[in-house]
Amino acid sequence: MSKRFSHKLYGLIGNPVEHSLSPYMHNAAFSRLNIDAAYLPFLVEKGKLGPAISALKRTGISGFNVTVPFKSECIKYLDRIDPLAKAIGAVNTVVNKDRKLIGYNTDCTGFLRSVKEDLRFSPKGRDIFLLGAGGAARAVAFGLAKSNAKTIMIYDIMPLKVNALITDVKKSFPAVDIIASGFKDMPRLIQGCRLLVNCTPVGMRSKDPLPIEAKLLHKGLKVYDIVYTPLKTRLVKTAEGKSIKAVNGINMLLYQGVLAFELWTGRKAPVSLMRKELMDNLK
């Protein structure tokens, strides 16, 4: 079927989507590079993901992002899945190539780029502690395993999710040392770690407590909080108060978008412009 639009169409599917900053950075990037394209948010009702993706495909959409709660569910509606995305079990970027929808996970690589650039930290040979075992944690854990982290330790209030994540990481990276942490084990395990990553939503609300006890934040640790609103969560503020290097997840959002843009267009993304758009539109 021929495309209904003279320009290329890109978008975001999820529920909710109205809060997303992605349209700002992608539309600005299209404009800067004189690409005749538009990026729109598409709210998809739960239970209607299949028909929604089918409808987008019929329009000739050139690509789209996927956000919660559809990053895993969308896989069954795509034609092909990149091996890393398949292993992670989540897709956040889809490319329409020759009428075939191909799924990728740019969250994983976006996180790694942000950690290396923002914290000046290389996971290779390091002990790292993850808080949470949900979708974001899956992308982070696979990225760390791919980067040859020495040991990855994971705590979540739902142990079954931790065990499932460990099993899946081991399938792709059998040599990696990845273990579950109990609540009582956290003080001992974090003491030997060099990076703490908060992969939970704790910190998004002003009344949220710290995701871990402040006393566990030690001088040899660096902190990465994937939460980016507010820009300085209680975890980031507490770490900085102890002279510990800490950053939020705004550049993980940026770099996953940069990678998606480059997959879609084959062009080098205007990173500085996209970062400015994110920062200018944060509420």
Give the residue from 259, 253, 260 showing the smallest Cα distance to 277: 253
What's the CATH code, domain 8-105+251-281? 3.40.50.10860
Residue the block writes with tokens 């709210």: 43
- For residue range 180-233, list pLDDT tens digits in order: 999 999 999 999 999 999 999 999 888 899 999 999 999 999 999 999 999 999
State pLDDT tens for residues 91-112. 999 999 999 999 999 999 999 9
pLDDT over 70 percentage in the chain: 98
Mean pLDDT to the nearest integer, 115-122:
97
**What confidence tier does 6 reach under pLDDT thresholds 50, 70, 90?**
low
Catalytic sites, residue numbers: 71
Q: Residue 120: which pLDDT band, with cuts at 50, 70 and 90?
A: very high
Q: Work out the percent of the chain whose per-residue pLDDT is above 90.
A: 93
Task: Decide whether 8-105+251-281 matches 120-244 in CATH topology.
Answer: yes
Q: Does position 2 have pLDDT exceeding 60, yes or no? A: no
Mean per-residue pLDDT for 237-261?
Answer: 97
pLDDT-derived band at 135, boundaries 50, 70, 90: confident
Q: What is the pLDDT of residue 3?
A: 45
pLDDT recorded at residue 206: 84
Q: What is the mean pLDDT of residues 128-137?
A: 94
pLDDT band at 241 (very low <50, low <70, confident <90, very high): very high
Say which CATH superfamily domain 120-244 falls into: NAD(P)-binding Rossmann-like Domain (3.40.50.720)
Q: What angle do CA 5, 95, 167 make, to 5 degrees?
A: 150
Q: State the average pLDDT for the chain.
A: 95
Both tokens of 243, joined, read 């002279």
Domain boundaries, the chain: 8-105+251-281, 120-244
